[in-house]
Amino acid sequence: MPCRDRSNGGLAPPAVWSCRLDCKPETPNQAVRCRGNPTPFTGGRRSIAQDIVVVILLAVLAAGRPDSVAEIGTTLVIVLILVALIIVAALAASKYVLPKLFRRIANNKDVFFLIAISWVFLFIFVSDQINLFLSPLGIEAYLSIEMGAFLAGLAIAQLPYSKQLQDRVNPLTDLFVMIFFVSVALDIEASELLFYWEEAVIAAAVLMPAKFLIFFVLINWQDFDIETNFLGSLYMIQVSEFGIVVGVAALEGNFISEEILGFLTLLALITMAVSVYFIAFGDKLFNRFESQLSRFEPEDTFSDGAKDYYEHAVVVGYDDVTRNILPLLDEHYDDVVVVDRQVEHTEALKSAGFDAVYGNMKSATIRKDIGLKKADFVLSSSDQVPVNKTILEEVPDDATVFVEANTQEEADELYKHGADYVITSVDLAADRLANYLRAHAEGRPEFNRAITSDGELLRNPDPFPETHDQMVGDLDD
C-alpha cells in the first residue's frame, strides 16, 4: 500500500491496518445499486461474512485505543461472546416470535414497515447501551449500533416477508448512505482529502485490477458459471463504503489522523467513480470477451439452490378469477408461480403444491425471484395499470399475457403496451348476460342448466376447483 506519513516519514501500525480494512471487497448490494438492475452474482454468503467482520471491527474500534495486545484480545473475546449471544437471540426470535407477529400484520404494509423498523431500533438500543445490562455483572464492553442493525436485519431475513420489506427499506438505505457521505465530507478539509492524492491514485490503479483478478480466481474456484464469475468480479473492484465507516470509527478512536481518513475517502471515491462505468457496461464487456473467457468455464457449475424458472406460468393475485384458472395452468406447465399480498393466500397456495411468493409485483426483487423475464404465460388479476405495464415491459416478446383493467380506456392502453388479452369484468358479465337472455328467449333448456352450473361454480368453497371441465357445453358451445 503506497501510503506514508509525509511529516513523520511513515505510518503507525493502526493507520496501516485502517488502510487495509478500507480496501476490503464491497458488497454485491453496492454493485447492484450502481447497476440499477439485479446482478447475476450470487455471493450472498461471502457478503454476509464480510459484513460480520466489519461490524465486529467497528465494535472493537468503539472500545477506543487499547494499551496492550492483551487488551485487544480481551475486547475481541468479549465482543465475540456478545455477538454470539445476540445472534442466538435474534435467530430464536425469528423462529418463535417474529413469524406470529409479522403474520398478523403483514397485510397492513404501513404497520408492517413500522414494526420492522421498531425491531431494528430495539437491537440498536441494546447494542448502544449494552453496558446497562452488563454493569451489574462488573463487565464493560462496547458494541456498535451497526452491529445491532445488522443482527436485527439478520433475524428479519429469515422470514418469508423479508423480500417485500427489502424493497421498502432500499430508499432509506440510499438516503442514509448519502447522509453519511455528506457528514463525512463536512468534516474533511480539502487539504486533508488531497494530502495523499498521489498515493490514492496509485493505490486505485493497483487495487482495482488486483481485486478483479483475486475475485475471478476465488469465484471460479467455487465453480460458478463464467458469466457470474466475470460480472461478479467486475462488480467487486470498487472500495466499499464500509471502508469509510471503519475509517471514521478509527479516527474517532484516535487510531488514524484526518489525512489518513482523507486518503481512504479519496481512494473510495476514485474506485466508485471508475467502477460505475464497468458496472454499466458489464454485459457488453462480457459479450465482447466471452469467447476468451469460456476457457475458464468449470465443467460442473455451482447452483445456489434457488429455483430457476423457465417457460413457466406466473399468476399475479389470488382471487375468484385466478383460483379457477390455477388447476388448468398446473396441467399445462411444470411450474406455476403465484404472487399475492395476503399471507393466508400464500400459505394456502403452498399447501396445495403451488409456488407462492408473498409480495407486490412493484418489487424488482419479487419479479426477479419469480423469473418474470423467462415466463411463457402471465395472468395478472391486478387492476393497477402501472403494475400491468411493468409486467408487459419485462416479459419476453413471445410470452402470452392476460391482464385486468377497470375501464375500456385502460384496456386500450394495455393493448398498446402488448397485452394479448385484457380482462374487463363489465364486458365479460355483459357477454354472459346476453347469452342468458338469448337462451331464455329461444326457450332453450340449456338456460336452466347454465344458471344452475354457474351458481354452483360461484358458490364452490374449494380453493382450487376443477372448473375447466365444467366450463364447456350449454352456453359455451
pLDDT at 5: 45
Which of 160-164, 186-190, 218-222, 370-374 is least confident?
A: 160-164
Which of 87-96, 167-176, 321-330 is least confident?
A: 167-176
Question: What is the average per-residue pLDDT within 227-242?
Answer: 84
Confidence of residue 38 (pLDDT cuts 50, 70, 90): very low
Residue 233's contacts (CB-CB under 8 Å, 6 or more residues apart) are 211, 212, 213, 215, 216, 219
By percentage, how much of the chain surpasses pLDDT 70? 75
Angle between helices 162-186 and 109-128 (to 10 degrees): 50
**Alpha helix locations (H) across 294-356?**
326-332, 343-351
Q: Which overall architecture, per CATH, does domain 313-476 show? A: 3-Layer(aba) Sandwich (3.40)
Going through 213-318 in order, the beta strands assigned E by DSSP cover: 313-316
Q: Can you read off the three cell numbers belonging to residue 428?
A: 365479460
Q: Can you read off the three cell numbers belonging to residue 295?
A: 476457457
Query: What is the Cα–Cα distance from 385 to 413, expressed in whole angstroms?
Result: 9
By percentage, how much of the chain surpasses pLDDT 90? 13
pLDDT at 96: 84
What is the per-residue pLDDT across 103-151, written as a single tens digit (0 to 9) for each? 788 777 788 888 888 888 888 888 888 877 777 777 776 677 777 787 7
* CA angle, 85 then 87 then 91, to 5°: 120
Residue 281 has pLDDT above 80, yes or no: yes
Residue 223's contacts (CB-CB under 8 Å, 6 or more residues apart) are 298, 300, 301, 302
Query: What is the Cα–Cα distance from 138 to 140, expressed in whole angstroms?
Result: 7
Going through 236-299 in order, the beta strands assigned E by DSSP cover: none
Instruction: Compute φ and ψ for 400, nearest 5 degrees.
Output: -95, 125
164 exposed, middle or buried (CB, 10 Å; 0-12, 13-18, 19+)?
Answer: buried
Residue 339 has pLDDT above 80, yes or no: yes
Confidence of residue 305 (pLDDT cuts 50, 70, 90): low
What is the per-residue pLDDT across 242-253, written as a single tens digit (0 to 9) for each? 778 788 878 877
Residue 22 has pLDDT above 60, yes or no: no
The ranges assigned to domains in the chain are 13-296, 313-476
What is the per-residue pLDDT across 377-415, written as a single tens digit (0 to 9) for each? 999 988 889 999 999 999 998 999 999 988 888 889 999
Instruction: Judge whether 339 and 351 are in contact, CB under 8 Å.
Output: no
Q: Provide the residue type at 160 as one letter.
A: P
pLDDT at 467: 53
pLDDT at 322: 81
pLDDT at 348: 84
Question: What is the average per-residue pLDDT within 195-219?
Answer: 92
Residue 13 has pLDDT above 60, yes or no: no
Query: What is the Cα–Cα distance from 383 to 391, expressed in whole angstroms?
Result: 12
What is the per-residue pLDDT across 444-461, written as a single tens digit (0 to 9) for each? 666 666 666 666 655 655
| Radius of gyration, alpha carbons of the chain | 28
Query: What is the Cα–Cα distance from 212 to 218, expressed in whole angstroms?
Result: 10
Residue 271 has pLDDT above 70, yes or no: yes
Instruction: Judge whether 348 and 325 are in contact, CB under 8 Å.
Output: no
Q: Can you read off the three cell numbers belonging to residue 266?
A: 479519496
* CA–CA distances in Å: residue 237 to residues 26, 31, 201, 295: 8, 9, 14, 22
Question: What is the average per-residue pLDDT within 456-477?
Answer: 54
Residue 45 has pLDDT above 80, yes or no: no
Identify which has the larger pLDDT, 270 or 324: 270
Name the residue with cell 465482447.
288
Question: What is the average per-residue pLDDT within 177-200?
Answer: 85
pLDDT at 315: 93
Overall pTM > 0.75: no
pLDDT at 37: 44
Order across the sheet with 421-423: list the strands.
355-358, 336-340, 313-316, 377-380, 400-404, 421-423
Residue in 394, 389, 393, 428 with CA at minimum distance from that of residue 408: 428
